[in-house]
Amino acid sequence: MPLALRDLQKAFAAHLAGDEQSALAAEIRPAAARLGIHRHHVLDSLASALAATFPTVQAVVGADFFRGLARAFIGRSLPLQPVLAEYGADFPAFIAGQESDHGLPYLADVARLDWALNLAFHASTSDRLMAADLAALPADRLPVLRLALAPGAALVGSSYPLDRIWEASQPGAAADPVDLTSGGVHLLVLRRPDDAAFVTLSAGEAAFAGGIAEGLSLEEAAGRGDSGFDLSAAFARLLGLGAFAALQ
């Protein structure tokens, strides 16, 4: 009996993901060769899309190993939307679960940074808070002011020197080894006029920015910093970086 449309669609998706035992194999056996070509094209296209979104991960593990990771991920998580730049949100978590295969405890953090840079690159460049926007506000309102991070801005923390790993993985970078025991880092990913980038934050700045992201007031977020935290300096730096969304 022919498969119902819903079951046929599910079987088709499973077959594209690599399920050789799917119901589709028996349903359209005469067209198996052509379907295999189509499946290969789909898998190759999705793997290439993941490589474009996670270039640092691929640089760290190499193209061949990355393609194996990508295909294993695709088999578990096909795209749910037509925009391939939005595909891969679960890839960092998948990589974390594959540590026994790749043996790199920092690789999932590298993937998180790649994903944050991808989201920032596709975010709007407008609606940033400027110093002039604060000039008209009463001074007593500033401590209770609640801001939001700018579109595309994200905090990425790691117990490894993620910034150095990223830099060493860029094309043309010097082949100097990265000391993985040199300590962790707090990064703020931001949308730039022509691209996306990240800056390194102190622990206090990262805690403050994290509080802002959670919806705390400036005064409350400042309380997240350490005993030497300088609210004025941190706020001025983040404001100059365009890290805050415009006032609503």
Cα 247 to Cα 129, 139, 214, distances in angstroms: 7, 16, 16
Would you state the pLDDT for residue 95?
98
Residue by residue, pLDDT tens for the chain (248 residues) are 455 656 656 665 665 555 555 555 555 555 555 555 545 577 889 999 999 999 999 999 999 999 999 999 998 888 888 788 889 999 999 999 999 999 999 999 999 999 999 999 999 988 899 999 998 888 889 899 999 999 999 999 999 999 999 999 999 998 889 999 999 999 999 999 999 999 999 999 999 999 999 999 999 999 998 888 999 999 999 999 999 999 98
Nearest of 117, 76, 78 to residue 94 by alpha carbon:
76
Q: What are phi and psi of 74, to 5 degrees?
A: -60, -40
With tokens 């990064």, the residue in question is 187
- 181-215, pLDDT tens digit by residue? 999 999 999 999 999 999 999 999 999 999 999 99
Q: Give pLDDT, residue 185.
A: 98
Question: Token digits for 80?
Answer: 């749910």
Cα separation of 50 and 8, whole Å? 27
- CB proximity list for 46: less than 8 A, separation 6 or greater: 70, 74, 78, 79, 84, 87
Q: Which of 121, 116, 120, 114 minimizes the C-alpha distance to 56?
A: 114
- Report pLDDT for 20: 57
For the CA atoms of 117, 121, 126, 130, the dihedral, rounded to the nearest 10 degrees, stands at: 30
pTM, entire model: 0.84
> What residue type is assigned to position 84 of the chain?
L
Smallest CA-to-CA distance from 185 within 242, 106, 244, 96 is with 106
pLDDT at 218: 95
